[in-house]
Amino acid sequence: MFAQTPIRDGVDQYERLAPRYDRLHHRWLRHAGGEAQAALEALVRALATPNSKLLDAGCGTGKLARTLIAEGMSPQLMTLLDPSAAMLARCADIPVPKMQERLEALPFEDGAFDLVTCVWALETVPDPFLALTELCRVVRRGGALCLAFCADEPARGLADGLMRQALLYRGTGRFLSRSRLMRAIESIDGFEVRAIPSQGPASTVLARRTGAVVQAVTKPKVEPYPPQHGDQ
């Protein structure tokens, strides 16, 4: 429902990509996603307190955690999660708990974290809607979910356009509809959502879980992600 093209499970690809990931990702950030990444990091800096429990879900090689720790955030209350052992192995220098798990089945209790980040990972999972529901579930009341993702927005120019084509060709992700994604979060009880403006085919979204009494997060009624011909 969020994207034009379905995707198969991408974990194997990231297993293979891990040694080259930082170099390729740097290119993406330089040409297309840098503004959205900067907006996401600014959000986390603004929202985090010394006592914030933070989950970075789909952490990859640990770029965000490394940045935050270098800026003085304590690693003590951070958790990194990714299903790819090879990506997690590249986080070995980061002194935080690491879990080899998936976004679609987070092994945490409801409301376990003050801050949940998911950076360029939602678009790599076969069912981003299920992943989003799980991410929202583990945010505590008064806490927040910060997302950066490849978005189905117009390219600014040649570099953006080429990056988009390269990513689609590699099959490591796709471009999600920001408005649909925001509507899906809004349909979950107790969440307020806003997009942080940036240009190009990338987006940053902040979803805050209000302090009001909320019911358990259940799967909201929106159209399911449609299977397409050739899908397995």
The sheet carrying 113-119 orders its strands as 98-99, 78-81, 54-57, 113-119, 139-150, 202-209, 191-196
Q: Tell me whether residue 34 or residue 190 sits nearer to ligand SAM (CB atom).
A: 34
Smallest distance from ligand SAM to CB 210, Å: 26
Residue type, 207: A
Q: Tell me whether residue 11 or residue 112 sits nearer to ligand SAM (CB atom).
A: 11
For 89, residues 6+ apart whose C-beta sits below 8 A from its C-beta are 18
What is the rounded distance in angstroms from the CA atom of residue 229 to the CA atom of residue 232? Answer: 9
Q: Do the Cβ atoms of 103 and 122 come closer than 8 Å?
A: yes
Q: Tell me whether residue 43 or residue 59 sits nearer to ligand SAM (CB atom).
A: 59
Smallest distance from ligand SAM to CB 40, Å: 9
Q: Tell me whether residue 10 or residue 201 sits nearer to ligand SAM (CB atom).
A: 10
Smallest distance from ligand SAM to CB 155, Å: 19
Smallest distance from ligand SAM to CB 112, Å: 16
Residue nearest to ligand SAM (CB): 60
Query: Measuring CA to CA, which residue among 113, 67, 55, 62 is closest to residue 84?
Result: 62
Smallest distance from ligand SAM to CB 14, Å: 3
Binding residues (CB under 6 A) for ligand SAM: these are 10-11, 14, 25, 58-60, 63-64, 82-84, 87, 102-104, 119-121, 124-125
Q: Tell me whether residue 60 or residue 200 sits nearer to ligand SAM (CB atom).
A: 60
Q: Tell me whether residue 96 or residue 141 sits nearer to ligand SAM (CB atom).
A: 96
Structure tokens at 180: 């649909």
Question: What's the residue count for the chain?
Answer: 232
Smallest distance from ligand SAM to CB 90, Å: 9
**Terminal CA-CA length for the chain:** 17
The DSSP result for 139-199, as a single string, is EEEEEEEEEEEEBS---SSHHHHHHHHHHHHHTS---B-HHHHHHHHHTSTTEEEEEEP--
